[in-house]
Chain A
Amino acid sequence: MALAIEQPTTSATRPARRLQLRQLGQRWLPWLVPVLLIGVWQLSATLGWISARVLPAPSTILQTTWDLLLHHNLLGDIAISTRRALVGLAIGGGLGFGFGLLNGTFAISEQLFDSSFQMIRNIPHLALLPLVILWFGIGETARLFLVAFGVFFPLYLNTYHGVRSIDPKLREMGIVYGLSKWGLFRHIIFPGALPSILVGLRHALGVMWLTLIVAESLASNAGIGHLTMNAREFMQTDVLVMGIVIYALLGKLADTIARLIERRSLRWQVGA
């Protein structure tokens, strides 16, 4: 850009315009295929090529969403699902983070817990579903337990690994420079492990939504899963598709937030 501006205007117009076009292309080109697909979908639905039973038109889904927002407290359902996800994340993720720190720092706690965690980790947590229902019934506890169980491991493993991979020489430096235990943690161990912890967090967010979807569609009296379950019973395909899209958007939103946190707290890595 700066180069183009410094050139005399007559010869500059053409390269500058080409540059602008290229930037425009880079920004918008990735959207072309999705927009085309939605267009084709809309067209096929309008022309009756696809039955509304199978896949309603995008416009119908938008209309439905609007209706639900206005008359059926869709936002409330979204809030309930989000709350479940976050509470599960806070419990399971908090425990994973705590144990990761403990086992990364203290040999005793590592010997005591790590191999057990490594064994339990191999259980696909969704396979616990029947057992969890048996234990807790089909209430809120079961759903939270499942989410917490699922997000525990990504955070545990990555925190543990992050703490363990800190250069012992840095720790020794901290000791020589008179840092207290808390100082060592605050200035060296936590920031050193943070990149790994954030990787764990992003992974955990993925697991969180996935688990929630399964847990909610099993049995819920509120939330997105409850909506879609009812929709299936009454064969409201439009509501079903809307539910799926909302799950996707929530997942995307969580990931974007995590990535923003990552970019902000790891600025030192680019050295700028």
Chain B
Amino acid sequence: MSIRGVELGLRGLGKAIANRTILHDINLEIKPGEFIAVIGKSGCGKTTLLRLIAGLTEPTIGQVALDDSPLDGLNPAARVMFQDARLLPWKRVWENVALGLPGLNADQALQALHQVGLADRAYDWPLGLSGGERQRLALARAIANTPSLLLLDEPFGALDALTRIEMQHLVEQLWRAQGFTAILVTHDVEEAIALADRVLLIQNQHIALNLPIHLPRSRQRGSAEFAAIKDQLLGAIFGAGYPLATRVVGA
């Protein structure tokens, strides 16, 4: 039972905070069920873009369109998974999941926990969970009521490499099963290439690169195509100096 993802349009979107332009003239159409990854240097405005789409801040100019109708206030379709898990320590694991469900539905919460492999911890307190389990729980909470838009803000940044790969697979699997539109902010270029249909690079307040990834899923990180795309992205981030610098280091 695949749920249709939401269609998103960013139209001339701009945001200034305290008279400083963070984002300027962002234009982008996102198809229903598309998986977008957003990369860029720290402070370039990735989180700000996500908050605009979630309706947590108002754009200074332009608009966010949701299935072609302009967004006003909080985005009802969106669920956000934050970098810090933002769990409620005073609620049991299942209650944390049930938080965003109508009527605090326990069955639905357990179902979501089952999907992320955390069903056996349903009645524990969050303080007893490991870092990876906490993010799993946050993911379960985000997908529990089958949202049509999932916004992920560097959700795996704090995890170790192995757990991170595990979580990436999990997200991909859930995305395939549920068919939501996904926007993943990450600082990990490989993560972006492994998961996204399209990778956006934000630089100088706008989308500097909009790169579709046509590799078949599930993607092999060791493949030559994968490495070529990674080089292309890193080259775009660091400018012409990038391949040269790596060659010097490699020599």
Main secondary structure of the interface of A (DSSP, over half): helix
Task: Note all chain B residues with C-beta closer than 8 A to A174.
Answer: 99
Contact residue range for chain A? 20 to 34
What are the interface flags for A177-200 relative to B under an 8 Å C-beta threshold, 1 for contact and 0 otherwise? 111000000011001101000000
**Does A264 interact with chain B (Cβ within 8 Å)?**
no
Does A271 contact B127, Cβ atoms closer than 8 Å? Answer: yes
Tell yes or no: B3 within 8 A of A by CB: no
- Nearest Cβ on chain A to B77's Cβ, whole angstroms: 11
Nearest residue (CB) in B for A170 is B86
Q: Which of A177, A194, A272 has the largest number of chain B CB atoms within 10 A?
A: A177
Quick one: given A178-B100, A272-B125, are A169 and B84 in contact (CB under 8 Å)?
Answer: yes
Whether B78 and A268, one on each chain, are in contact in the complex, defined by CB atoms closer than 8 angstroms, is no
B67-84 interface bits toward A, Cβ cutoff 8 Å, 1 = contact, 0 = none:
000000010101110101
Chain B residues in 8 Å Cβ range of A179: 99-100
**B15 touches A (CB below 8 Å):** no
Q: B82 to A173, Cβ gap below 8 A?
A: yes
Given contacts A172-B56, A173-B82, whether A192 and B90 have CB atoms under 8 Å apart is: yes
What's the minimum C-beta distance from B23 to chain A, rounded to whole angstroms?
20
- Give chain B residues whose Cβ lies under 8 Å from the Cβ of A123: none
**Given the complex, which residues of A lie within 8 Å of B124, measured CB to CB?**
271
Q: Contact at B125–A271, with CB atoms within 8 Å?
A: yes
A122 to B67, CA, bound (A): 59
Asked whether B99 lies within 8 Å of A187 as measured between CB atoms, the reply is: yes
Query: Are B82 and A177 in touch, CB under 8 angstroms?
Result: no
CA A271 to CA B2, docked complex, whole Å: 37
B56, A191: Cβ atoms under 8 Å? no
Does A32 count as interface, using CB distance less than 8 angstroms? no
Q: Give residues in B with beta carbon < 8 Å to A.
A: 54, 56, 74, 76, 78-80, 82, 84, 86, 88-92, 99-100, 124-128, 141
Residues of A within 8 A of B (CB): 169-170, 172-179, 187-188, 191-192, 194, 267-272
